[in-house]
Amino acid sequence: DVYTMNIYRDTVEAFIKELSLDSWWLTLIWHSNGWAISTKLAVNKNIDIKKLFLIGSAGIRNKKSTSLKRKVYKTILFPAKIIKNLPGGKTLRILFYKAISWQDYIKAEQNPLLKKTFLNIIHTDLQEVFPKIDIKTDLIRWDHDTYTTLSDGKLIHSLIRNSRLTILKWEKHWIHLQNPELLTKTILKNI
C-alpha cells in the first residue's frame, strides 16, 4: 500500500495502544521526516503524549524562498529524470543522487509503492499543523544541516507555542549516526 502521513500516524498510534505505551510517561523522539508523524499524533490527541523531541525536523515544504542548494537541485533533477532512459542512465542517476546525498530516494525508487509513499511524505507541509501543538516540545537543530535548515527550525519554533530550540554547533543532519553521544546528552539534559 501507498502510505500518507495520516496512515503513518494511525499505524503508529495503533502500535502505541497495542503495547499500552500510552499509559506511561510517553515521550516521543523523532528525527527528520519521521518527526512529522509525531506532530500528527500530538494534534490528533488520541494518545497522551507528555513531551516531544523533534530532531532535525522537516515539514516546511511550501516556502517562498528556498536555499541555493534546493534551487540547484530543482534545476538538476529534470535532466536526471531524462538521463535514466539513456543507456547506463540508471547508474548515472544513482551516482547523481548519491552526490547530492539523496540515499533515501535511491532506496525508495526501487519499489513503486515505497517511492510514492516517500514522495507523499516529503511533500507534506505542516506549517498549519504546528500552531495546534500544545505539548512541551524540544527542537534540536544544528547550524550545518543542509537537509533541514536552521531557518526552518526557527520558523517551526515560532509556530509551536510551547517549544524550546537548541542549536548544536558544527553538526549535520545525521547527528544520530555521526555524534550520538552529543545527541543523547542534549536529550537527557532537556528531559
C-alpha cell at 19: 503495547
Q: How far is CA 149 from the centre of its chain?
A: 11
Q: Is pLDDT above 50 for 65?
A: no
CB-based contact 5:40 (threshold 8 Å):
yes
pLDDT at 136: 93
Instruction: For residue 170, give Cα distances in angstroms to 9, 15, 149, 174, 178.
Output: 32, 36, 13, 12, 12
Helix (H) or strand (E) holding 86: none
Asked if pLDDT for residue 128 goes beyond 50, the answer is yes
- Mean pLDDT on 80-96: 73
Using the predicted structure, report yes or no on whether residue 64 has a pLDDT greater than 60: no
pLDDT digits (tens, 9 = 90+) for 38-53: 888 889 888 888 899 9
Over range 27-34, report the average pLDDT. 83
Instruction: Report the range of poorest mean pLDDT among 83-92, 117-126, 182-191.
Output: 83-92
146-158 residues labelled b (16+ CB within 10 A) or e (exposed) = ebbbeebbeebbe
Supply the pTM of this predicted model. 0.75
Across the chain, how many H-helices and E-strands are there? 9, 4
